[in-house]
Structure 1
Amino acid sequence: MHKILVVDDEPRVSTGIKNFLLGSELNIAHVETALNGFEAIDYLRMETFDLVLTDIQMSRMSGIELMETIYMEQPHLPVIVISAHEKFDFAKKSLRLGARDYLVKPVERDDLLRVVGSVLRENEAIGRQSLALTEAQRGAGGKSGQPGMGELLTALVTEGDLPAKDGEALVALLSDQSEGGLFGVVSIRPDLTRGGFSDREIALQGRKLLKYASINILNECLGEWRGLSLSGYGNEIVAILRFGEPKAHERGAGIESQLHLIGQMIHMNLKSYLNVETTVGISSLHADVFMLPKLMDEAKAAAEWRHMNPGQRVFYFEDRKARENLGIADWIAQVNVFSQTLKAGAGSDRTGGNGEKLLQTLRRLQDEAEMFNSYFGMLAYRLYGLLLEQGRSNGMSLQRFDPDAYFRGSDAEGKLAALGAYILEVSAMLGQLTQERDRSILARITGFIRERFRDPALKIQDIASEVHFSTAYLSYLFKRETGKNLWDFVTELRIEEAKRMLETSDKKRYEIAYAVGYESPEHFGRMFKRYAGLSPAEYRKERQGSDG
């Protein structure tokens, strides 16, 4: 049975759509209506819906802003746009602008049911696939309530510093990959300043829609590679690719050809559907999921090569690497890979698969003092830099980890003998610093929310910006540390403040509603009863009566 949310500031319209849907044969169990984007967001944070239908032109929060919030918090929730503007070119001519479809008011019943039915059937098909995957994960020892695979992959590629226990959870969720496989990252840079079918300059809101459209197109065209597309900074879009274990004839040139094909396909699809020019940077492939941050760096570096080759649109990292002089550049790359692995496994006894390889390289250089000291210094100071990154804000002294102090007086053989212990100590300290950082960040998050929960326009992007995290990792960290959903915490603060005001003041319901962050008294009343079990009036009567 399906559950749908209808958002429109004209009650007559939303009620009419609700009646159409409930009277249909689409197996719809419940239709909720919201008068504006703020009410809609509250419902979405509190309940699970299969589909949202929203007007574009609404006061206070437009449908475009609502879609942006939905994308950030529930990227897989489908949206259908309803508008009285028949000549809204972007949405009219391209149904890929962040919405599954576009309906013009007055909405015809048959059109509405056709479009809604199509989206719900697609959801059911996706749901069956997800259920099969979930059952497979449970069979492999996965636990219910764990963050989703997409959420953890997003956190890993954007943060690059998941603690060891979270990495283990990620590995469990990826248990269906036990037969082997490869990961790759693509950095997509669409030029969103111009485009669309009118090939005109695009305003800021239009760029947001155009970016959503690009992500939708990427999710479709990368399905063969189980692609996961997510929003990066600015106009950047990041795609994570997951390949099965390549057959013998597919290795080497075969894989390279496939990656070039993916890059060209991304560029051509965005050009064909949205008329935007795009630069695509593609990383190498790696079997270790913890290499995703490093692959992200590779993809970004590849995309930046457009400045040196303005006529080219697709860049593959391995192309450049093959042309570079190895040696010092290769060593730097190996050190970066190792440091990211160490960072991801901070506090555990894992030192990364590249550790022994680095030691072997250093042993071969023992007799070349200048080269040895240069290579050794790059590694040791890179590890020291990891500690400084994590410990900069807590005032803890990390002086004893300074390589100049730790290895003072040691020759090459002595440095190599002490390096293993140094790496283990750095890993243990990283684990401690990460835990302290997370506790400190959680305090900042809750403090920020306590200051801002009365603002009806509060968004997860605002909170994420405060601590410089991605929205996915913010939600994951908050749930992990507190055991509750971030927006449940916001709502609890609002309801608790409302209770206090009902008990200690004579303010009317609408005054309290506005004071604690709700746009309408009616919506406040529904939310209050859902959390407190009583209406605001019943609560006030009960509390004031008991005081008397």
Structure 2
Amino acid sequence: MWKVLIADDEPKIRLGLKTVLEEMELSVTVCAEARNGIEALEKTRQCQPDFLLLDICMPRLSGIQFLEELRKINKDCPVIVISGFNEFAYAKQAMKLGVSEYLLKPIAEEELRIAVQRVIEEIKQKRKNEKYLELVKQQVIQNQEYLRNVFFNDWIEGKLPKAEWKEQAEFLEMHFSEPMVLILAAVQPGYDTKMDKGESADREDKTTFKKVLCELLESYSVIGSFSSKEEELMVVLKDIPEELDAFYKKIQVQTEEKARERCIVTVGNCVFETFPEVSREMRHKIQKMLECRPVVQDARKYIYANYQDRNLDLWQVSHAVGCNSSYMSRIMKKELGISFKDFLTKLRINQAVELMKNRELSINQIAEMVGYSNQHYFSAAFKNCQGMSPSEYRKNLPQADKIG
């Protein structure tokens, strides 16, 4: 049964409308009657009618005032307004407040029947739409990971204008802030540390890898994670960790240890406009590393973990990964396109550049932190890589930050 509330200050009209509605056999029941606008509002809250029959002129709270208050608590409830010939100005106001039907006194039964039938169909269609939208909402929730993957891949490829990006991000319930931290990780194809231990290899490595990485990042403000078309996993963080280098090392080592797979991880930061370029550079770096032999990857990770050791040399790295130094020298040059010495120097200077932003650190302290025991050697290496001395670089740092 459809519930209707009749609001009119004349008892005879209320009774007449109730009688006519019952005789129409439209599955309509009068759930409440009201003598004025205040009473109509109270009873609307109490019995939650499906629609209302409302006199436009009522005491205490006029029909227009009632409609204004009704729309604050129920913006969609259909209303059939009843009006006299001399109340056309009210009619125009009523139509602006979302009235479904407008009937003139005296009301013809057939006109009332048609108006009620239209309102019932309106309610049915609205509920059908709501049911459909709820179904769509459930489908979105169930397929949220897939939709986020599509969103991120379109973003990487530069297909999303900022307005559309914001709209899609809001729809997918992702709240971005700038700058953002990107973490890109991948598993070495065909390599599984479980095989080294004589255990059977299952095909859940990718799922395990994702689960491990996401668990490691639980304490950070994760905006979203997704898989790229190349099946790499990218995680976007809201806040940049204070010690980005230490953060990178932690993620790299712990992901591999917990997932028991050979993982490659790289970290970067960006804003909306630079996301496609930065993510592409990171993916290129990952792909380049995936093409390297496992021994080169292990050597690279060892260097990243120990570059602060001022005594680090090729023999130490080679010994750590289980090969001789001459072979390591050749294979690194071949696969990374750079010698061990140049690789280590470039890494140390890149880390020094990051540390330069902290003005509380002296240049001598920075030199020691990146593995140089002699500030003279550090300055020479820094100038060779950056084209200026450390002190000159720091002097120009505010301008460089502004430009960047």
The TM-score by the shorter chain falls in which range? 0.3 to 0.5
Instruction: Give the TM-score of the pair, scaled to structure 2.
Output: 0.40
Point out the structure with max Rg over C-alpha.
2
Instruction: Give the TM-score of the pair, scaled to structure 1.
Output: 0.31
Q: Which has the higher contact order (CA 8 A, sep 6+)?
A: 1
